[in-house]
Amino acid sequence: MEVFEVATNPVVKPPSGDSRKTGSRCVSASRRAAALLGRADALLSQSVGAGAPADRFHSAYLAALRGAGAALAAAEVASSGARRTRTRNAWVLMADAAPDLADWADYFAGHSATRAAIEAGTSRILTDREADEFFVEVGRFLHAVEDRIGHGTGLGLRAS
C-alpha cells in the first residue's frame, strides 16, 4: 500500500509587483479571478464542516484548485497574447504563468495522488492533524493568490 505524506510549510516567496492592467479583457479576467477566489473561499469554509479528514482534505484541495484558477485568470491579464500550452494540469500551468507561485504549485502537485486516491475510494486514512495542516496551507495559498491579484473576498475565513 502506498503511503501519502502531507508536507507542511512550503517555502513561498511573496508576490512581486502588481500584475493588474486595464481594458475590457483585463476587467473580465479580473472578475473571473475574483469569482474563482470567492469560490475557493467557499470551498475552504465548506471543508471545515466535513466530518471525515479525507472529506476535509478533498474540499480543501478543490479550494486550492480554484485558487490556482484565480491565479491563472490574473496571469491572463498580465500576459494577454501569450501562447497557451497543451497541458491541463493546473499546477503546471500556474507554475508557468505565475513563477512566484511555483513553490505552491509543487506543494499541491505533491498532494494530487492523495486527492486521486480519495476520489477513487482507495485512500489511506488521513488523520485529523494531516487534514487540518493541509487546510492551513490552503488558506495560506489563497492569501498569497489574493495578495497577488489584489482582490479581497471579504469572507475572512481562511487560515493564516
To 5 degrees, how large is the angle CA 36–CA 41–CA 45? 145
For residue 134, how far is the Cα from the chain centroid? 11
In the chain (160 residues long), the average pLDDT of successive 10-residue segments reads: 40 38 53 93 92 94 97 75 67 94 96 93 85 96 93 47
At 83 the pLDDT is 53
The reported pLDDT for the residue numbered 123 is 65
pLDDT of amino acid 19 = 38
Domains of the chain by range and CATH? Answer: 24-149 (1.20.120)
The predicted pLDDT at position 122 comes to: 83
Q: Are 19 and 74 in contact (CB under 8 A)?
A: yes
Amino acid at site 88: R
* Selection from 51, 45, 67 nearest residue 126 by Cα: 51
